[in-house]
Amino acid sequence: RTILLLNGPNLNLLGTREPEIYGHDTLADVERLAMQAAAEQQLDLEALQSNHEGVLIDAIHEARLSKGGIIINPGAFTHTSVAIADALSGVSLPVVEVHISNVHQREAFRHHSYVSAVASSIIIGAGVNGYRLAVQQMAHLLSR
């Protein structure tokens, strides 16, 4: 089975963007780590990053028939996008939400997530290791 890893806006800048918050690993490092974690669980993983809400929504729709589940770090769309939350609930696949930073330690506008209401599991503040945890949790959800 294949799982989809989606990263939202500005996560293409990982490694150089506010490294004191997000660390020094790049998006390529994160995708490689997730791919490895998936292989350990006998899962395939497809990764996509986009800065565009509609591209993420299209990818969620396309996953409906071809993927077993979706791991998503929606970036700032977490806090703004009813449309991404609706897309995720529309495809009725298991969803694991990931945030690299502990959003609850940060500005109040980062404390609410539209996506959390439709996620099976949420991993926050584990740094990029959160992606490994997300893959392991997705494997667990898919094995039930």
Please state the residue numbers annotated as binding site for substrate: 73, 79, 86, 100-101, 110
Active site residue 22: yes
Q: Tokens representing 103?
A: 């959003």
> Do the beta carbons of residue 60 and residue 70 sit within 8 Å?
yes
Closest separation between CB of residue 49 and ligand DQA, Å?
Answer: 11
Distance between alpha carbon 142 and the CA centroid of its chain, in Å?
16
Q: Which is nearer to ligand DQA, 66 or 105 (CB)?
A: 105
Decide if 61 is catalytic. no
**Of 24, 52, 61, 99, which one is the catalytic site residue?**
99
Residue placing its CB nearer to ligand DQA in the complex, 68 or 127: 127
How far is it, in rounded angstroms, from Cα 1 to Cα 27? 23
Give residues in contact with ligand DQA (CB under 6 A): 10, 73, 75-76, 78, 99-101, 103, 110
The closest of 98, 105, 104, 101 to 132, measured between CA atoms, is: 98
Residue type, 115: V
Q: Which one, 76 or 82, has the nearer CB to ligand DQA?
A: 76
